[in-house]
Amino acid sequence: DGGITQSPKYLFRKEGQNVTLSCEQNLNHDAMYWYRQDPGQGLRLIYYSQIVNDFQKGDIAEGYSVSREKKESFPLTVTSAQKNPTAFYLCASSRNTLINEKLFFGSGTQLSVL
Amino acid sequence: QKEVEQNSGPLSVPEGAIASLNCTYSDRGSQSFFWYRQYSGKSPELIMSIYSNGDKEDGRFTAQLNKASQYVSLLIRDSQPSDSATYLCAVNILIQGAQKLVFGQGTRLTINP
C-alpha cells in the first residue's frame, strides 16, 4: 500500500534530550512537511522540503531540525532547545508545492515530556 | 486578524440535520481551499477541495466558496454520529512572497443521536 509512515506512535523525551521522529513515504512525492498540533489548535508548519537535500523553515522552526537525504525520508529532530515540545506531530507529503496540491498525512506521533 | 479563522465550537447538531461550518481568510488572492476531517487522536483526512466561486457537492458534503466575501463553508447534509469530528479549514495564503497552506484552529462538531 502507498502511504506515509510515521514512527513511533508515542514518544517520551527527558529534559535536555534530543529525539528524532521518523517519516517515510512511498508515494513518490517531491514535497514533504512537518506540522505541530497542540490541543484544540490547528496545524502549524515547522519545516518543509520541496526536493532532496533542500528544506525551508516554516512558522515555528526554532528548536527543531530536519534532513532530506532521500526522497522517501524526512526525519524531524526535536532538540533540547525546544522548551515546550509536548504536542502531536504530523508529517505530510504532496506531489509538489503548487498551490492546488492536496496533502497526504501520516498517522502522527504524540510526543510528551517526562 | 488571523490568516484563517474558524469558530472553534463545539457545534452540536441533531442527527439527520444539516451541519454548517464556516471559515474566513485574510488573503483576497487565495485560490485553493480545503476541508479536512480529523477524528480525535488521528491524522486529518481531506474531504473537500474547492478552487472557484460557488458550490461543489460530493455526496452529503457541499463546499461553498465566496471569494468576494473571503469565506468558505462546508455543509453536511443528513448528519450522522460518525460525522462527529474536528473539521479543519486550510487555505493557500501568500506570506512574504511564498504560497503557504495555512490551517484554521478547527471546529469541533458533535452529532447528537
Question: How does DSSP assign A20-64, residue by residue?
Answer: EEEEEE-S--SEEEEEEE-TT--EEEEEEEEETTEEEE-TT-TTE
Q: How far from each other are the two terminal CA atoms of chain B, in whole angstroms?
A: 36
Interface of B with A (CB under 8 A): 4, 6, 8, 31-32, 34, 41-46, 49, 51, 88, 90, 92, 99-101, 103-106
Q: Do B31 and A100 touch (CB under 8 A)?
A: yes
Give me A58's grid cell: 516554516
What pLDDT score was predicted for residue B79? 97
Yes or no, beta carbons of A42 and B49 under 8 Å apart: no
**Each residue of A36-89: pLDDT tens digit?**
999 888 899 999 998 999 999 998 999 999 999 999 999 999 999 998 999 999
Distance CA A55, CA B84 (A): 36
Suggest the residue from B7, B43, B51 to mutate for an interface test with chain A (most A CBs closer than 10 A).
Answer: B43
Average pLDDT over chain B reads 93
